[in-house]
Chain A
Amino acid sequence: MTDIVVLGAGISGHTAALHLARLLGRRSTRGQHTVTVVSPNSHWNWIPSNIWVGVGKMGRDDVVFPLEPVYERKGIDFRQAKAVALRPEGDGEDHRGAVDIVYTGQGRVGQEERLRYDYLVNATGPRLRFEATEGLGPDGHSLSVCTADHAVEAARELDEVVQRLRAGQEQTLVVGMGHGTCTCEGAAFEYVFNVDHVLRDAGVRDLATLYYLTNEASLGDFGVDGMTFEDQGFQTSSELWTASLFRERGVLPILGAHVERVEEGVVHYETLDGSHHSLDFDFAMLLPPFGGVGLAAYDGQGGDITDELFAPSGFMRVDADYTAKPYEDWRAADWPETYQVPVWDNIFAVGIAFAPPHPISRPRKSSSGTVIAPSPPRTGMPSGVMGKTVALTIVDRIRSGPSAQPHRASMANMGAACVASAGAGLRTGSAAAMTMMPVVPDYSRYPTGRSLRDTRGEIGLGGHWVKLMLHYLFIHKAKGRPGWFLIPE
């Protein structure tokens, strides 16, 4: 009998759970193996489409669906609860690993339970650290599109801006990153161009000033140190390619910025040269920095071993090289391959939950010492791949014994497609569609860090169709509908 517990039901955790259930067989034929998903949320959210919810092009119900019916159909146990503590060595009653959870739904809010596991997949995703910047977030003075509910609120506020513009009032809109260490610059990039598209559709763009406020030191960095493309016989940078779009659409970029504080209608920020600025706004969508969810860890005697399992950021340490070293010494080989936790090889961390060895973009500090450095993205396509990889490892170990070799999927040997919507509409939409291979540049294999053949970028209506297709394909996949496993992660 093997009990597998998956913490989190985002892209990586949900993918892992679906593949585990598929590979181990349906509940009736699976024998004694159990797959249990623990998630504080009752619904799954296709987060990439929150951008369209945030401009009113999609509704909340277009991007979320309830998890329980899917898990019921797939023979997966579901606990609507949040994990609070790991016990890799168990406790006085049972030496198997255990995880303490507190229910957030299913009529058991606040109740605690200790789940035993043979294998644990930590896919808890990020904690949205709005508190890192004073006044940031929906409970402060800015908006977010990180959750479907946040996006609905952003769409409502944007609609009010459009009404004021129609009445002839000039408006200033700010979209970007709410802290110097944020990740997901691609999402802010998408949102700013979708806002631009909405304002043009409404015929009010000329009265609006639209800023893109980012921690990236240069446009097109996207937290992956930028990309080099081959275009008509020349090598060009994602910086020039992206700057062209900003110039064409009249969006004003402010680079290398750390937001210090957000007040009602004013954002205060510092830039890399150490200068401080204030920007008045009528609408601000600023993403928060991410952190780990704050799990504690205890050994068999109840001693605190949180620092052994987790980095100070709260993300879980896995098989990466965490030796501190300068940017020039970073190597692709520093990145994890198996996502196993050292010492406890029955614990894995995938998606945003694993601690990256270092950023991908060159880290910078302002002249006054403020860290302004994009954190590495590990969402979307890589998250799904990691989830499937650890599911394959666990299934092999159940079938062949604990010495079975783990499957490997390093972000330094994994490609990703980033389709950044620049406006919705079947005939009028647009997107900046990029592929990069690998995600983490490997200068020992490629002079530009990435394969020029597979690292491409193009802008156009076709990119919008790709993003729309991915929306429907991945919701089909996440619902476990026929043939779901044939759709690549």
Chain B
Amino acid sequence: MTNPSPPAPDNPQPVADLTGAPLPTEGTLRRRRSVPFQLTRFAVFNARIMRMVLKGSH
């Protein structure tokens, strides 16, 4: 998925240096697309929203 798009060299821009940012592993990218795994994350995220709603001034 990595596809850096370098700026045109004749018009350099002050782009932030991202070389220190971690790249996801193949396993992480696979989990992000895995339907069974993501169904679980979907349920967990919704539960988290509901927890927040019940806990805060909502």
Contact = CB atoms under 8 A, between A and B. Distances in A.
A428 B13 CA distance: 32
Interface string A434-468: 01011000000000000000101011111101100
Given A244-B22, A244-B23, A250-B3, A415 B42 contact: no
Question: Chain B interface residue count: which class?
Answer: 35 or more
Interface stretch (A76-84, A111-119, A349-357, A406-414): A406-414
Interface residues of A, number: 58
Given A249-B3, A254-B16, A460 B50 contact: no
Interface string B23-57: 11000000111110111111001101111110111
Given A415-B52, A415-B55, A277 B14 contact: yes
Contact of A462 (B5, B20, B45): B45
Contact of B22 (A240, A252, A280, A460): A240
Interface string A330-374: 000000000000000000000000000000000000000000000
B23 A248 contact: yes
A325 interface: no
Q: Counting chain A CB atoms within 10 Å of each CB, which of B2, B15, B40 scores highest?
A: B15
Contact of B16 (A253, A463, A489): A253
Contact of A248 (B2, B11, B55, B58): B2
A443 to B, nearest CB: 17
Given A240-B22, A243-B21, A417 B52 contact: yes
A254 B12 CA distance: 11
Given A243-B18, A250-B5, A462-B38, A430 B32 contact: yes
A90 to B, nearest CB: 33
A465 B38 CA distance: 9
For chain B, what secondary structure do more than half of its interface residues adopt (helix, strand, loop), or is it mixed? loop
A293 interface: no
Contact of A454 (B5, B22, B41, B51): B51
Interface string A385-416: 10001000000000000000000111001111
Interface stretch (A23-31, A65-73, A134-142, A205-213): A205-213
Contacts of B46: 466, 469
B25 to A, nearest CB: 11
A462 B31 CA distance: 10
A433 B5 contact: no
A219 interface: yes
A462 B39 contact: yes
B14 A275 contact: yes
Contacts of A433: 45
Nearest to A416: B52
Given A414-B57, A415-B53, A252 B5 contact: yes
A438 B45 contact: no
Contacts of A248: 1-2, 23-24
Given A244-B23, A458-B41, 11 more contacts: A246-B21, A247-B19, A252-B5, A415-B52, A415-B56, A435-B45, A435-B52, A456-B48, A460-B31, A460-B33, A466-B45
10 contacts: A206-B5, A209-B8, A243-B16, A243-B21, A255-B16, A277-B13, A413-B57, A435-B52, A460-B37, A460-B41
Interface of B: 1-8, 11, 13-16, 18-24, 31-35, 37-42, 45-46, 48-53, 55-58
